[in-house]
Amino acid sequence: QVELVESGGGSVQAGGSLRLSCAASGISFRRYCGGWFRQAPGKEREGVAVIDDNGRTGYTNSVKGRFTISKDNAKSILYLQMDSLKPEDTAMYYCAAGGDTIVPGGGSCYGMDDWGKGTLVTISS
């Protein structure tokens, strides 16, 4: 059984930084994609950043150059370093796992079927 547990969310001012973590059990980032999605109130969920089993990464355009996804395969932890945060980054952030092929031009992989419960990120102006 796969379990993904996010942590690291919080409230910061615009321009600040946060680092999200996702502890995984029952699935290995050595074999599958790990990624971060977000959903703001009234908006659809979007793929933010993804890393595949070989360490290749993909980002949605709005976070390129500001967010960095990484992973520790030995500890089964996925990270999202978020810098230069903007109010529009405010959302619930979810960890996801599964699949092995990055969607071209995006921040997700095909077939990401396992999800965490989310961690809230609030950016004030």
Measured in degrees and rounded to the nearest 5, phi and psi for residue 120 equal: -90, 130
Give mean pLDDT, residues 11-18: 98
Give mean pLDDT, residues 2-27: 97
Q: How many residues are recorded in the chain?
A: 125
Give mean pLDDT, residues 28-39: 95
Give mean pLDDT, residues 80-98: 97
What Å distances lie between residue 46 and 13, 28, 34, 75, 79, CA to CA? 22, 23, 14, 26, 17
| Residue reference for tokens 């999605």 | 37
AA letter at 4: L
Residue 38, beta-bridge partner list:
46, 93
Q: What is the pLDDT of residues 59-77, one digit of tens each?
A: 999 999 999 999 999 999 9
Among candidate residues 5, 4, 2, the one with its CA nearest the CA of residue 27: 2
Question: Residue 89: helix, strand or coil by DSSP?
Answer: helix
| pLDDT computed for residue 74 by the predictor | 95
Average pLDDT, the chain: 96
Task: Give the rounded percent of residues in the chain with a pLDDT score beyond 90.
Answer: 90
Is the per-residue pLDDT at 11 higher than 90? yes
Q: What is the pLDDT of residues 97-123, one digit of tens each?
A: 998 898 888 888 988 999 999 999 999
DSSP element (H, E) containing 97 = strand 91-97
